[in-house]
Structure 1
Amino acid sequence: MSSTRRDFIGQVGLTSLYFGLGASFSKDFFLHSATPLPRSTPAAQGVDASKILSFIHAIQQSKHEFHSFMLLRHGQVVAEGWWAPYAPDLRHTLYSMSKSFASTAVGFAVMEGKLKVSDPVVKFFPDERPASVSPELAKLTVKDLLTMSVGHEVDTSQAMRTEENWVKSFLAFPFKHQPGTQFLYNSGATYMCSAIVQKVTGQKIVDYLKPRLFDPLQIADMDWETCPKGINVGGWGLRVKTEDLAKFGQLFLQKGQWNGKQIVAPEWVEEATSFKIQQPAPEKPSRPNAENDWLQGYGYQFWRCRNNAYRGDGAFGQYTIVMPEQDAVLAITSESPNMQGQLDLVWEHLLPAFAPASASISSVNQQLQTTISSLALPLETKQLPSNWVKKISKRKFQLENNDMGLQNIRLSFSKGKCVVDLAGEKENYTINCGMGSWKTGETTFPGNELVVKPVSRASGIRLKKIAANGYWKDENTLEMTWRYIESAHNDVVTCHFSTEGIKISFVNSRVKLNPNNKDVRPELKGTLILG
């Protein structure tokens, strides 16, 4: 490492390198210096449209549920699409893709001389440190947090989220290894990065990033979950739009420049995205290590990829993939059971699209546009006849006592629509459900949290955008899909009717993807109220 880079990472003082940082930030400067991402065509940017088309076809034939993608080449959007009912104006829960934004907040604090990555973590929390500080905890640095090499045996985030004071919980965790020596994916480490930035700046990182990152990139309406102490959780819980992910990737591809201005120091971009530590290989690998995108090294909350690319990623398939050699960026939101499989599709179909393209074929371009404009998730439109519609419409079912606190349910049917009214102990909920089509709305129904379960004792998001569709699966069974369209997930709600009453089951898509998921709700039972 050069002495210049070493000084930047260890002692930094780049305050005067670009535009004064900190006190000299100007809101007007940022708002007027940024412009939306420009649009172009694949051919104009040297991209083979047929390869993008094959990528989409491969998605449709796979088990991956994509919600959106946006592909950039030379800073231009050459292809973008959303699978209905997802749409460009909707945010999407990023899960661990949030970590790369949290890392960038640390970068700004380093650039402004507020901290160094070599700083010991306990330095920032004199009131939360254990009475006896172990040698390992004393050695733990900000860099160890950023590189997921804390030295713990397990991810601390699960245990932390049951406590009121997450910082204190993290600092009390025992060590198995010396800090900086062993990689272990640890969302608690990212939370601590967020807590440190808030400690030295006096701002939550979502607010700290606003004038430094979000405003110049014209990223608006973002929100980020907080812990009980009002600290952004860092390692998950951020929501932004697909284009915002693409902008973030393009900023890093451009070495921190945006509209001719240096937003992030190029030294930080290089340091954050370059190899820092090797992930341990599995004992029984399913593929050669060289073909595993989770074994290419880790930076500062960024993963290295095959093909000399790097990425931020989040559970169920939220991505910002930066491909420097191709001068390209790919943003994806989705719900997938196999994130490696998604990356395989990218390398198989999109990587060849950047090779010197043959003459553009207008029919392929038109076919691509037609395909993109018709993207939609499977929608059940069949409507079997059921005598229950007339028997139960607008009538209430009294529900037995249940953990969800629901007291009764009423279903009101009209042409092409079913309105579901749920009465709770403290709150009532209404879901407008299309019969053969999506009906969109908002709800505070607690069936599916966008970020983490309420047991986490973190501040989540109550009002959720929802798209709902239903159909009669058979004479006695109404099946509805409730998609929480600013998250990756959905509930399949099944109502089975009989002379004894109603039985209602809720199955969340997270449970389908992960059989070990414990978020399983019991079946509800109810009887029709007479009169």
Structure 2
Amino acid sequence: MLGAKINSTNYFDRRFLRTRIMIRIINCNLTSPVKVLILTLFFSLFFIGHALADDGRCHDIVGENFDAAPPSAESMSSDRLLSLISSLDEARYDVRALIIMRDCKIVFERYKDGLARQYNHAMYSVTKSISSTLVGALMLQRKIKNLDTPVATLIPKPPGLRGDAWSNAERVTLRNFMQMSSGFDYKHDPVSNPIYDARQDRVALAIGQKFIAEPGTRFNYSDADALMTGTVIASLADRSLLEFAKSTLFEPLHMSNYAWWFPDQGGRFPGGWGLRLRPMDMLKIGQLYLQKGEWNGARIFDERYPDLAWAPGVSNRYGLHWWLGKVNGVPFYFANGFKGQRIYVFPSLRVVAALASSLPDKEEAVVPLSIVTAIIESTDAAHPVDAESDTKLMEAQKAGFHGETRVRQDNQDSPRRF
């Protein structure tokens, strides 16, 4: 399915129905005081319902996919979204999926030609934000009581660790690892760094690094730090990352066609990379944070966890494996993966979005920014909300993205249906 199905009931239908009910109350054979009482009750219930509908949460059960609505029904500008995809198409960027949702209704859904909803995509470092979500779940389960606990008390000593390196694990806390502030001398080099080699004892490698700063004082983006976050999760859950994620997150959210690649010989999955998700399920992760951990009446993590995960750490742009941003004065939070994988959450706009793409470095800087800007501007009153433009947007979505692949591909970059 290349386009989102438009719901037949929109804002204008509801407004018309409300007006008819009001007229019938006024014209009915009742005394004036009774009419006033009924109208007061009716409008009280209406405004309560309207407030609930506009809090960004899903008020119906969400299954494998979200429902859809035209942008105008959710007070978003189709014209602004049309200009966005026109610019993406003109530059032939390799965007493979883009979904935008407001108030739990998909207002935009487009895939690259030949792809559809059921294809999953390599998440790269978006995986880190899913690991953060699992930490939130462990906190709810009281298996993690304090993020400032040294990891030496949370994981078993790796058998491959040499010398007195285990003392390193007594200095670094889980919060340090999640904020990328372990203090270790990590250099990001996916080609030659042995931490990516499944034949190695990755945990021993991560703990055995040399310190160049006191833990908690220096931000240094590190897959080794995220690896340790995943190690703590698996240890406290007493299951693999994949099995814990499946039972705690993927199944409760009715996610499908997911995978977690690159386990080591002991079956340990990396906490910072390797996950594959459908864009629709990326959207669910963002919506889960917008709903402060509640999903279909169940609680995945404590309602306070988003504030904890999105609080600036040692870097004012990074929290607990989530990035922090602001464009046009609007704050937002995002999971960030190599080649242009993103999950965006705009709490003040009640918007979440998912992007899957394969972009070289310069384009990866340009495309996400243009998408974020368009999302923000499409909710601005300065951009017209035109129901007639919804039809044009729907036709544009059906055509699909047709960008050129300008960055080297490997086995994991191919979207898949398992």
Name the TM-score, length of structure 1 as normaliser. Answer: 0.61
Specify every segment of 5 or more residues in structure 1 that has no aligned partner in the other structure, as ranges: 1-31, 279-295, 380-446, 452-483, 488-531
Shift of 1:176: 0.7
Counterpart-to-counterpart distance in 2, 1:214 and 1:154: 31
Structure 1 stretch displaced more, 135-144 or 180-189: 135-144
> Percent same amino acid at aligned positions?
22
Q: Quickly say closer, same or farther: Cα 1:50–1:133, change in 2 above 3 A.
A: same
Higher strand share: 1
Name 1:78's counterpart in structure 2. 107
2:395 counterpart (370, 373, 376) = 370
Q: Deviations over 1:226-274 (max 9, x none)?
A: 1222111121110110100011101101111223433221112211122
Shift of 1:50: 0.4
Question: Are 2:89 and 1:60 aligned?
Answer: yes
Shift of 1:121: 1.7
Counterpart residue type for residue 257 of structure 1: E
Q: Deviations over 1:399-455 (max 9, x none)?
A: xxxxxxxxxxxxxxxxxxxxxxxxxxxxxxxxxxxxxxxxxxxxxxxx93217xxxx
Task: Give secondary structure in 2 for the equivalent of 1:108.
Answer: helix
1:450 counterpart (395, 401, 412) = 412
2:122 counterpart (90, 93, 96) = 93
Name 2:157's counterpart in structure 1. 126
Q: Deviations over 1:127-172 (max 9, x none)?
A: 4444314765421011111011111222477222235211111111
Higher helix share: 2
Greater gyration radius = 1
Counterpart-to-counterpart distance in 2, 1:127 and 1:344: 42
Counterpart residue type for residue 247 of structure 2: P
Counterpart-to-counterpart distance in 2, 1:99 and 1:166: 16
1:159 counterpart (191, 194, 199) = 194
Structure 1 stretch displaced more, 55-64 or 80-89: 55-64
Name 1:340's counterpart in structure 2. 365
Task: Verify the 8 A CA contact 2:81 2:374 in the aligned structure 1.
Answer: yes
Task: Give secondary structure in 2 for the equivalent of 1:276.
Answer: coil
Specify every segment of 5 or more residues in structure 2 that has no aligned partner in the other structure, as ranges: 1-59
Counterpart residue type for residue 333 of structure 2: Y
Question: Are 2:216 and 1:194 aligned?
Answer: no
Question: Are 2:229 and 1:229 aligned?
Answer: no
Name 2:249's counterpart in structure 1. 213
Counterpart-to-counterpart distance in 1, 2:295 and 2:171: 37
Structure 1 stretch displaced more, 206-215 or 353-362: 353-362
Counterpart-to-counterpart distance in 2, 1:369 and 1:357: 22
Task: Give secondary structure in 1 for the equivalent of 2:136.
Answer: helix
Counterpart residue type for residue 346 of structure 1: I
Q: Quickly say closer, same or farther: Cα 1:168–1:83, change in 2 above 3 A.
A: same
Name 1:485's counterpart in structure 2. 415
Question: Are 2:373 and 1:331 aligned?
Answer: no
Task: Give secondary structure in 2 for the equivalent of 1:177.
Answer: coil
Q: Quickly say closer, same or farther: Cα 1:362–1:203, change in 2 above 3 A.
A: same
Task: Verify the 8 A CA contact 1:85 1:485 in the aligned structure 2.
Answer: no
Name 1:322's counterpart in structure 2. 345
Task: Verify the 8 A CA contact 1:309 1:322 in the aligned structure 2.
Answer: yes
Shift of 1:39: 1.1
Counterpart-to-counterpart distance in 2, 1:63 and 1:234: 33
Task: Give secondary structure in 2 for the equivalent of 1:180.
Answer: coil
Counterpart-to-counterpart distance in 1, 2:356 and 2:150: 36
Task: Give secondary structure in 2 for the equivalent of 1:95.
Answer: coil
Name 1:267's counterpart in structure 2. 304
Q: Quickly say closer, same or farther: Cα 1:155–1:378, change in 2 above 3 A.
A: closer
Counterpart-to-counterpart distance in 2, 1:358 and 1:314: 30
1:249 counterpart (286, 294, 299) = 286
2:208 counterpart (151, 172, 191) = 172
2:321 counterpart (301, 305, 315) = 301
Name 1:144's counterpart in structure 2. 176
Name 2:30's counterpart in structure 1. none
Name 2:24's counterpart in structure 1. none
Counterpart-to-counterpart distance in 2, 1:359 and 1:343: 23
Task: Give secondary structure in 1 for the equivalent of 2:91.
Answer: coil
Q: Quickly say closer, same or farther: Cα 1:220–1:80, change in 2 above 3 A.
A: same
Counterpart residue type for residue 255 of structure 1: K
Task: Give secondary structure in 1 for the equivalent of 2:271.
Answer: coil
Task: Verify the 8 A CA contact 1:46 1:354 in the aligned structure 2.
Answer: yes
Name 1:48's counterpart in structure 2. 77
Task: Give secondary structure in 1 for the equivalent of 2:357.
Answer: strand
Structure 1 stretch displaced more, 89-98 or 208-217: 208-217
Which portions of structure 1, spanning 4 or more consecutive aligned residues, are displaced by more than 6 angstroms? none
Shift of 1:360: 4.2
Counterpart residue type for residue 258 of structure 1: W
Structure 1 stretch displaced more, 205-214 or 37-46: 205-214
Counterpart residue type for residue 263 of structure 1: I
Q: Deviations over 1:306-325 (max 9, x none)?
A: 13101001000011010111
Counterpart-to-counterpart distance in 1, 2:165 and 2:127: 30
Count of aligned residue pairs for this structure pair: 341
Shift of 1:357: 6.6
Task: Name the structure, 1 or 2, with higher relative contact order (CA <8 Å, separation 6+).
Answer: 2
Counterpart residue type for residue 149 of structure 1: S
Task: Verify the 8 A CA contact 1:93 1:486 in the aligned structure 2.
Answer: no
Task: Verify the 8 A CA contact 2:168 2:207 in the aligned structure 1.
Answer: no
Task: Give secondary structure in 2 for the equivalent of 1:79.
Answer: strand
Task: Verify the 8 A CA contact 1:136 1:178 in the aligned structure 2.
Answer: no
Task: Verify the 8 A CA contact 1:450 1:486 in the aligned structure 2.
Answer: no
Task: Verify the 8 A CA contact 1:48 1:357 in the aligned structure 2.
Answer: no
Question: Are 2:314 and 1:277 aligned?
Answer: yes
Shift of 1:107: 1.8
Compute the RMSD of aligned alpha carbons: 2.4
Counterpart-to-counterpart distance in 2, 1:83 and 1:335: 11
Task: Verify the 8 A CA contact 1:304 1:310 in the aligned structure 2.
Answer: yes
Task: Verify the 8 A CA contact 1:193 1:234 in the aligned structure 2.
Answer: yes
Task: Verify the 8 A CA contact 2:157 2:166 in the aligned structure 1.
Answer: no
